[in-house]
Structure 1
Amino acid sequence: MLASEGRLEPLIWSTVIRSLRIPLLEHDLDPDALMRASGIDPQDVLRTNGEVPLKAYLRFMELAAQQSGNPTLGLHLARSAGPETLGAIGFLFLSSKTILEAMQNLSHYINILQGVTFAQVVQDNEETSFVYQLLHVKDHDCRQDVEFSLMLTKRLIRIFAEGEVPISGVYFRHAPLADKRVYEKLIKAPVYFGQDYNCVSIPASCNRVRGKVLDESLSPILKTFLDREFETIQRMKTLGDQVEYVLYGNRIAPPITARKVAQHIGMSEATLYRRLKAEGVSFSDLLDARNFTLARDYLTTTRMTATEIGYLIGFADSASFSRAFSRWSGGVGPSEYRRRHTGAKETAA
């Protein structure tokens, strides 16, 4: 579940923690004790559609690493995990027609499990990358989750093609928690830190490699199930939460408008405005919160210019983006915001 800053505490689906119980037990860790120490009720995790605070989940992962004495525990947990960790999404991955379709299915459906996730597949002539990021948290707070998630993705790719698809690189935005050689030995692929994105990349030439494990006829069955699950989850949320899911998940192409969002959700623009008003929120406030959150994230964690960031978020030019950012931040422009928070200077407008 996504939340605007100051409005709701970000939550994560309890299935994420539930899927880690067996891997943690196999590493001689007590998942229930870890949950309680992190402020999570184990009974909440057992509920089919339960949710837990994102911050508590991240504490849970950090405590697990500390108690194990293993700073790369996330990688080790993923090495013993399989498609069942992601439930139907994992098996949809393995029953997809091609590895490209598998990665696209993963990025499309993963928010059913993790509503605070930003995931997408990025392609160019050389590589195809699965990009993963948790929103509303700092990089150093989610290192265990990111390392687990990318390692699991890499493992699914290997299972899908029985090793025929090489991993050209695994990229992390954060700094390493151990010697880089430890990461490369565990991941068995080139590893890079301090990057603009968390992602797993494969050669674009492998996009059409077909799966070798599950029958492709399972794919439409699993998609139908996941679509119904998604509809159930959406009905449990407020409309504001549904709008944020669309906004933060890049579900529609820029420029983002209330009309496009309303069509995506399945209602008229007038109904969207009326129902949001009844919940005490406005579409413009939700869109501003999304844009400000993403802009701050890009300014403090990437080397992109203000022009590039503005365009990526949906602004036609850097001037309009700078004016909007100053309004959101109380008078601080993008370049000044970056300087204050990173000590870096904007290289171009």
Structure 2
Amino acid sequence: MLEAAKLQKIKQEPHIWSSVIRSLRAPLKENDIDADQLMAEVGISKHDVDLTNGEIPLKGWMNFMEKAAVNAGNPLLGVDLARTAGPETLGAVGFLFLSSPTIHEAFLNMCHYMNLLQGVTNAHLVIDDYETAWVYQIMHVDELKCIQDVEFSLTLTKRMIKIFAEDKIDVLSVNFRHSPQMDRREYEKRIKVPVHFNQEVNSVVIPTQHLNMTGKILDSSLAPILKAYLDEEQASFNKIKTLSDQVRYVLYGQRIPLPITAKKVARHVGLSEASLYRKLKSEGVRFSDLLEERNFGLAKEYLSTSDMTVTQVAHIIGFADSSSFCRAFTRWSGGITPSEFPKSENSGL
């Protein structure tokens, strides 16, 4: 169970399991990066990293990865690190993925426990008759740059899929919301599947017909043991989740058809619309503020990391037209228009 101090720490800011950095120390050294020195530079405690069940601030992890890529002179460092990473990087969640009976269950397990592994992160499946997409979304946290994390996470997921069934599952594509940091061919040379940029979501796509593919690496009898452990952690984590936390998770999960309304969100969290408003008010939060927080956060991410036009961004977020989006963005930003925003990104907005 999570002790009181740990619960309070989670309340203050989102965290990520320290196993992620711990597993990367050796490969980072091969890239001439002193992980411990870099951790100190970005404010990550070596003591927290060395704890078996330790956690580190998500902001610290994001900054660590971005700075590591700069120091290594390698814009694709996240991709390269993930190419040799294994389940230990994801701790119990990684081993549960590989011990799940089918790849479908592996995905569902990863989606269910992702927010426990890495705070303010949403993962879910989108399934149709032909393709299944595992969608990865970091919910907006001010001032976080997350390109290296996203490229690391999606490349690692692709690798985990291949490990799961000894390369017998086809990965159709890996898709990023941001624009490429190098020529697309460099990505495909490393990831070894088609790679697409400026997409609506970050995702890894496989054929739906492969969902029942069974695992080849770990005994599936391990799965219930790992789930019991993770369920205990999840239960403790859920005790401190506010309704506003739950609403944010739904808003960023992109599971609700546009336009997003309070009624749709209330139904998703199992409340009436009136109860949603009342409970949020008791937390000192308004639904309209959460929705604007979501829209502004996504807009800034799309505008600063992708090559999408203002009209495309407006459509993806849920605005009927670009003019209403521009008026809203200018209000949120204190006078900066969407077309001006990428130029002002480094000014601290």
TM-score, shorter chain, exceeding 0.5: yes
Q: Which of 139, 148, 172 lines up with 2:152 in the alignment?
A: 148
Pairwise mapping of residues 1-349 of structure 1 onto structure 2 (< 5 A)? 11-15=14-18, 16-46=20-50, 48=53, 50-54=55-59, 56-136=60-140, 141-236=145-240, 240-249=244-253, 256-257=262-263, 260=267, 263=270, 273=278, 279-283=283-287, 285-294=289-298, 304=312, 309-310=317-318, 318=320, 330=331
Check whether the contact 2:326–2:337 (CA below 8 A) recurs between aligned residues. Answer: no
Q: Deviations over 1:219-276 (max 9, x none)?
A: 2332222222112223345554455345434688875557546648xxxx869946x5
Q: Is the partner of 1:62 in helix, strand or coil?
A: helix
**Structure 1 residue 207: Cα displacement:** 1.9
Check whether the contact 1:292–1:325 (CA below 8 A) recurs between aligned residues. Answer: no
Check whether the contact 2:262–2:287 (CA below 8 A) recurs between aligned residues. Answer: no
* Counterparts of 1:128 and 1:256, CA distance in 2: 28
Q: Is the partner of 2:189 in helix, strand or coil?
A: helix
Structure 2 unmatched runs, 5+: 1-10, 344-349
**Structure 1 residue 164: Cα displacement:** 0.6
Check whether the contact 1:252–1:260 (CA below 8 A) recurs between aligned residues. Answer: no
**Structure 1 residue 171: Cα displacement:** 1.7
Report the AA paired with residue 117 of structure 1.
T
Q: Is the partner of 2:98 in helix, strand or coil?
A: helix
Structure 1 pair 138/147, CA: closer, same or farther in 2 (3 Å)? farther
Check whether the contact 1:131–1:200 (CA below 8 A) recurs between aligned residues. Answer: yes
Equivalent residue number for residue 7 of structure 2: none
Structure 1 pair 219/255, CA: closer, same or farther in 2 (3 Å)? farther
Structure 1 pair 20/231, CA: closer, same or farther in 2 (3 Å)? farther
Check whether the contact 1:115–1:245 (CA below 8 A) recurs between aligned residues. Answer: no
**Structure 1 residue 192: Cα displacement:** 2.2
Q: Deviations over 1:149-181 (max 9, x none)?
A: 111001100011101112211222223333333
Using the TM superposition, name which of 81-90 and 294-303 deviates more: 294-303
Instruction: Provide the aligned length of Structure 1 versus Structure 2.
Output: 322
Q: Name the TM-score, length of structure 2 as normaliser.
A: 0.74
**Structure 1 residue 296: Cα displacement:** 6.2
Check whether the contact 2:314–2:325 (CA below 8 A) recurs between aligned residues. Answer: no
Q: Is the partner of 1:129 in helix, strand or coil?
A: strand
Q: Is the partner of 1:219 in helix, strand or coil?
A: helix
RMSD: 3.9
**Structure 1 residue 112: Cα displacement:** 0.8
Q: Name the TM-score, length of structure 1 as normaliser.
A: 0.74
Check whether the contact 2:139–2:249 (CA below 8 A) recurs between aligned residues. Answer: no
Report the AA paired with residue 84 of structure 1.
E
Equivalent residue number for residue 5 of structure 1: none
Structure 1 unmatched runs, 5+: 1-7, 312-317, 344-349
* Counterparts of 1:64 and 1:218, CA distance in 2: 35
